[in-house]
Amino acid sequence: MLGSNAALWVRKNPAVFVALLGILLLGGFLRFSQVGSLMHFSGDEARDAFLVRSIARDGDVQLLGAGSSIGDGTFKLGPAFLYMLVPAYALTGNNPAGGAWTVAILAFASIFLVYLLGKRLFSTRVGLIAALLYSVSYLVAHYGRWQWNPNPAPFFMLLLLLGIHALAQPGRKHATAWVAVVGLCTGVLLQLHATAIFVLPPLLFLLCVVLKIRLRWWQVILGLGLVGMLQLPQLIYDLQHNFEVSHGLWQIIHGSSTHHYDTIWRMQHTIKAFHHFFNEAIFTQQLKPLALALMGLGTGVLAWRTIRGWRQPAARGNIILLAWLLVPFVVYHAFTSVVFLHYFALLFPLPFLIVAAGIDWLWQQGRFRALVVPLIVLAAGFAFWQSANSFAGGRLRAYGEPPGKYALTLQQLQAASAYIIQDAAGQPFRISTEPFPYEKSMWYLLDQAGTPPVENAQLRYTLVYGTEPDLSRYLRRSNIVIWMFENYVIIKQQVETSTQ
């Protein structure tokens, strides 16, 4: 039935099918090309790798996931992301590349969800434009290629908003199924990053009120029950450990409420963070004026349409996008810490839908149509070039760094581990890394190879990251061997057992 409906849709919409297929091919190339070998694998990823391996190999039950970067670090997220990676680890022999493939598959599927949401909220044209720009974005492609707990957030956020939009429709179909989708996605998102804990409750409440979503009592229980069920591991851990998780969450809330910064400073801080996110999402550091102009145009179009037709069914798409923008802005305004780019994982698809709505408005005006196609080609072409260039030549460019600076990849770390194992020839050794925190990564790879480091061993290997590392303090020492590689160095040294 599903296959026949899809075939019928293709026959009726051949041009849309070809365009969508081309978009998916572009996005698939940027997400799957060398995804395992060129994945980013440092401290956070190695932490998760140890936990996922304990589930997949040893059958351990993990009740908590990653610690939150918001607050004092005592609050820990739920384990949903860890269990998401278990099948891939089990199939690949606990190779972290399997985790990267899991994230890449979800990131690839999110391209289609962007198209679907744009189409449902506005039109097929908006869906295609948004999906194209989203598929080639350097920021989105970068975060869709490696295992990190915030990275699957766009997929689940898009599914959640598709469910909200479906529930807001008159004469809606499959309402109970959509309630289940919203509940499951909310429960997962609350465990991917702490920002979701503060963004989703007010956002969902606002959308349900403004869009006048009415549910039966048992549908409300179903949705809330699914959210609660997914939080059970955290609750169990909390009860077993004197409410440690609740205390950590309270520290985040209390810390934000007791820091009395000037309101103007907070506003400037938040605007700067959103400004940086929009630039990075669309064109990174290049063509900033065009990125801001397109965002301003799209936001203005949404606001004007909402004001003019507040009660009209067509305004639902405008309301959803504006709420998706404004609620996080208000929430992030309360943060006293630095708002990093990954805090915007819940919002990754948003700029592209807003920009697509603005470009579609230009097309509808008629007299601006001559600008639309060159504008789309310029935006998509430039973004694709940036994204493809980030891993050109088998190297992964460090995000936000100049083109000549490359991060260590999983493939390079595996090669370094193999080199150390071969050179040690069965002798016990210790490992350290400088200056970037790759030590836990090396520990995992060496342990996975059956040769875990020994803390007080006399033989020490130090991995120094950088294309031109400062080795002066090592060169003054005796009894050392240095091996130079493309963007890292391995230093071998005999040390006393008391040396730390």
CB 125 within 8 A of CB 20: no
Q: Residue 60, class by beta-carbon neighbours within 10 Å (0-12 exposed, 13-18 middle, 19+ buried)? A: exposed
Residue with tokens 């996005």, as numbered in its chain: 27
pLDDT at 64: 87
Residues of the chain with pLDDT under 50: 257-258, 499-500
pLDDT at 258: 45
Assigned token pair, 317: 């798409």
Taking residue 73's Cβ as centre, other Cβ atoms within 10 Å add up to 12
Q: How far apart are CA 138 and CA 327, in angstroms?
A: 25
Q: How far apart are CA 238 and CA 281, in angstroms?
A: 37
Q: How far apart are CA 314 and CA 43, in angstroms?
A: 47
In DSSP terms, 456 is beta-bridged to none
Q: How far apart are CA 103 and CA 158, in angstroms?
A: 15
Using alpha carbons, select from 454, 462, 402 the residue that is nearest to residue 435. Answer: 462
Provide the total of helices (H) and of strands (E) in the chain, helices listed first.
Answer: 21, 6
Q: How far apart are CA 400 and CA 103, in angstroms?
A: 21
pLDDT at 161: 96
CB 401 within 8 A of CB 157: no
Q: How far apart are CA 241 and CA 255, in angstroms?
A: 22
pLDDT at 401: 56
Q: Is 117 helix (H, G, I), strand (E, B) or coil?
A: helix
Give 364's contacts (C-beta < 8 A, 6+ positions apart).
none
Assigned token pair, 101: 């493939």
Amino acid present at 81:
F
- CA distances from residue 464 to 431, 436, 441, 472 in whole angstroms, order as listed: 11, 8, 13, 12
pLDDT at 250: 80
In DSSP terms, 491 is beta-bridged to 462, 482
Amino acid present at 246:
S
Using alpha carbons, select from 369, 352, 354 the residue that is nearest to residue 300. Answer: 354
Strand pairing category for 429-434 and 459-465: parallel
The full 3-state SS of 394-430, as one line of letters, equals HCEECCCCCCCCEECEHHHHHHHHHHHHHHHCCCCEE
The structure's pTM equals 0.92
Using alpha carbons, select from 276, 246, 252, 245 the residue that is nearest to residue 334. Answer: 252
CB hemisphere CA count around 326 (13 angstroms): 13
Assigned token pair, 65: 């996931």
Amino acid present at 480:
I
Give φ, ψ of 67 to 5 degrees. Answer: -75, 155
pLDDT at 499: 47
Q: pLDDT by residue (tens digit) across 125-167?
A: 999 999 999 999 988 998 998 899 999 999 999 999 999 999 9
- DSSP structure string for 130-145: HHHHHHH-HHHHHHTS
Give 125's contacts (C-beta < 8 A, 6+ positions apart).
360, 363
